[in-house]
Structure 1
Amino acid sequence: MDIEKYIASGILELYVAGLLSEKENSEVHGYAMQFPEIKAEIEAIENAVLAVSKTVSPGLDADNFEQITSRMGKVVDMRPKTPARKSAWPSYLGWAASLLLAVGLVWIYLENNQLKSEIEVISSEKESLEERMIDIRNEVANTEEILNELRDQNVAVVALGGQTVSPESYAKAYWNKEAQKVYIDAQGLPEPPPGYAYQVWSLKLDPLTPTSIGLLDDFANNDKRLFELPNPNESEAFGITLEPEGGSETPTLEQLYTLGAVAS
């Protein structure tokens, strides 16, 4: 049984108001004895009804009844002695008023619960939006920081053109020799197949000496395709090869995707 759904259905409010059939009353009573959550909710509704009832009570003093009866004793009874037939309408009207009050209280209770639920949803959405705004601010700040580094006058921009295995591929290396790091813009590289990763090499050309400076990890989840790698080497060129995950000791030249020389 879905207790929360049962509580939210409104049947407990009708139970407290006395608007259910005998069979339905027995069913609700049985559930209340079986599930503490339902019993607690019934008690909460009853308390709410009592609280509202107190607010609309006339609030007479305790000795008002005695004052009224003493005054009535001084009034001469001018009515005929024959007993008059008592009308049942006051009783009916009293029951009708009680029923309307109970229905009104149930409606107020349901509306209050609905309002609470809507407030909780709005609060949750507000928190989610605030978190997203914080993430966006952080992303913007990080992007601005990277752009400032790329625009540094000490940064050498190296275009890496496509090679035999993938002529349409391209990339760019932004090398800051003083900071000993390089940014690789890999927007022009296809996503590597499962089990493989791109590896970046710093090259000395004479004689040809490759030195690995790192992998382009988590390529698929990097939307900007911008990677920062350390490079303490005296690089004369940069190349990117496709290697098994974890990288290789030496570049697989048959899988050389891009290559570019540093301008002298």
Structure 2
Amino acid sequence: MEDVKAYIESGILELYVLGDISPEDKLQVEQMAAQYPDIKAELDDIAQLMERYAGEHAIEPAEQLRQKIMNSLLVNLGDDRNFIKQRKHTDEEEFEDDKIITLPQRNQFYKYAFAACLTLLLISIYGLVNLYSKLQDSNTQIAALQADKTRFANQVNLMDSQLDMYRDTSFKVLKLKGMPKSPGAAMVLAWSPVNKKVMVDVQSIKLPQHDKQHQYQLWALVKGKPMDMGVFDNPTGTDTAGVKEMKNVALADGFAVTLEPTGGSINPSLDHMVVIGQF
């Protein structure tokens, strides 16, 4: 029955009644109508519907249209008589009175089903896009939390180092004072000859601002000779570090800071010394 229903809804029966069908399909329709009563009944209903519709909208056809219809009927009825010769249209003939009959669509199910599927598809796409956006926001928040966690862990480690420095009595605190070119400069560091650590109090750094092509370099004065202890920058407003650990040194008579090209120098630029301090 499903095949019969699908065959009826395919529209081939309407084409058969209209005569707009190939000989092979015409023969198939006749065989199906003979085999299935439902198809035969549907075929009769279509013929009656077209006849009634044509009667309600009937007009006097032009001679050429009349001959075309008669020829079509003769073909469908299997008449072997000679067909009426069709006249060829001339350029001057017009068919303004001809009227094309449009049959109402018999089945809207597939159109509505397609519209419903399309609507569901659009809703699904919108939902997926919305979900993807929320996932992206969640990933951003997670990344921000992880960054905050890392910063917090670093701060805790620095605070531990600072506390260890204050608890360790082997540390010696030294205040470096400004040179004549920078009398307001100052900095405090702590050095332990026992564990050889040098810790700079970041919050105490008060050095002139420098450009991006330069950095400050710390030097240990060992028996009158400078020894590289690493480079550092002026703290920024967002710098929360308490102390900065520099390179280790076992012996030192004092410390000094010079302004050097970024990355530091092998030998200090004495003309650019900003602070110095001795034990």
Q: Give the TM-score category using the shorter length.
A: 0.5 to 0.7
> Any residues of structure 2 matched to 1:228-247 within 5 Å, and which?
228-233=246-251, 235-244=252-261, 246-247=264-265
The AA in structure 2 aligned to 1:232 is: A
Matched, 1:181 2:197: yes
The answer for unaligned runs of 5 or more in structure 2 is 1-44, 51-102
Whether the 8 Å contact between 2:217 and 2:264 is mirrored in structure 1 is no
For residues 230 and 200 of structure 1, the distance between their equivalents in structure 2, rounded to whole angstroms, comes to 12
The AA in structure 1 aligned to 2:208 is: P
Whether the 8 Å contact between 2:197 and 2:245 is mirrored in structure 1 is no
Matched, 1:255 2:272: yes
Which protein has the larger Cα radius of gyration, Structure 1 or Structure 2? Answer: 2
Q: Deviations over 1:199-257 (max 9, x none)?
A: 323336xxx7133142215x369844834221211x332221224554243x4443221
For residues 149 and 164 of structure 2, the distance between their equivalents in structure 1, rounded to whole angstroms, comes to 23
Whether the 8 Å contact between 1:203 and 1:211 is mirrored in structure 2 is yes
Query: What residue number does 2:100 align with?
Result: none
For residues 196 and 89 of structure 1, the distance between their equivalents in structure 2, rounded to whole angstroms, comes to 84
> Any residues of structure 2 matched to 1:91-130 within 5 Å, and which?
91=107, 94-95=109-110, 97-130=112-145
Query: What residue number does 2:208 align with?
Result: 190
Counting aligned pairs with the same residue, the percent is: 17
Matched, 1:212 2:230: no
* Deviation of the 1:151 alpha carbon: 1.5
* Deviation of the 1:172 alpha carbon: 0.8
Whether the 8 Å contact between 1:240 and 1:259 is mirrored in structure 2 is yes
Query: What residue number does 2:149 align with?
Result: 134
Query: What residue number does 2:218 align with?
Result: 200
The answer for unaligned runs of 5 or more in structure 1 is 1-80
**Residue from 168, 177, 188 that aligns with 2:184:** 168
Query: What residue number does 1:226 align with?
Result: 244
The structure-2 alpha-carbon separation of the partners of 1:133 and 1:254, relative to structure 1 and needing over 3 Å to count, comes to closer
Report how many aligned residue pairs link the two structures. Answer: 178
Whether the 8 Å contact between 1:198 and 1:243 is mirrored in structure 2 is yes
Q: Normalized against structure 1, the TM-score is what?
A: 0.53
The structure-2 alpha-carbon separation of the partners of 1:110 and 1:131, relative to structure 1 and needing over 3 Å to count, comes to same
For residues 97 and 194 of structure 1, the distance between their equivalents in structure 2, rounded to whole angstroms, comes to 69
The structure-2 alpha-carbon separation of the partners of 1:136 and 1:194, relative to structure 1 and needing over 3 Å to count, comes to closer
The structure-2 alpha-carbon separation of the partners of 1:248 and 1:95, relative to structure 1 and needing over 3 Å to count, comes to closer
Whether the 8 Å contact between 1:199 and 1:212 is mirrored in structure 2 is no
* Deviation of the 1:107 alpha carbon: 2.6
* Deviation of the 1:135 alpha carbon: 1.6
The AA in structure 1 aligned to 2:271 is: E
SS in 1 for 2:208: coil
Higher-strand-fraction structure: 1
Relative contact order, CA 8 A, sep 6+: which one is greater?
A: 1
Whether the 8 Å contact between 1:181 and 1:231 is mirrored in structure 2 is yes
* Deviation of the 1:162 alpha carbon: 1.1
SS in 2 for 1:125: helix
For residues 235 and 187 of structure 2, the distance between their equivalents in structure 1, rounded to whole angstroms, comes to 18
RMSD (Å), alpha carbons: 3.7
Whether the 8 Å contact between 1:165 and 1:254 is mirrored in structure 2 is no
The AA in structure 1 aligned to 2:259 is: L
Q: Deviations over 1:180-208 (max 9, x none)?
A: 1111235312344455443323336xxx7
SS in 1 for 2:259: strand
Q: Normalized against structure 2, the TM-score is what?
A: 0.51
The structure-2 alpha-carbon separation of the partners of 1:210 and 1:200, relative to structure 1 and needing over 3 Å to count, comes to farther
For residues 185 and 210 of structure 1, the distance between their equivalents in structure 2, rounded to whole angstroms, comes to 24
The AA in structure 2 aligned to 1:161 is: K
The structure-2 alpha-carbon separation of the partners of 1:107 and 1:124, relative to structure 1 and needing over 3 Å to count, comes to same
SS in 2 for 1:216: strand
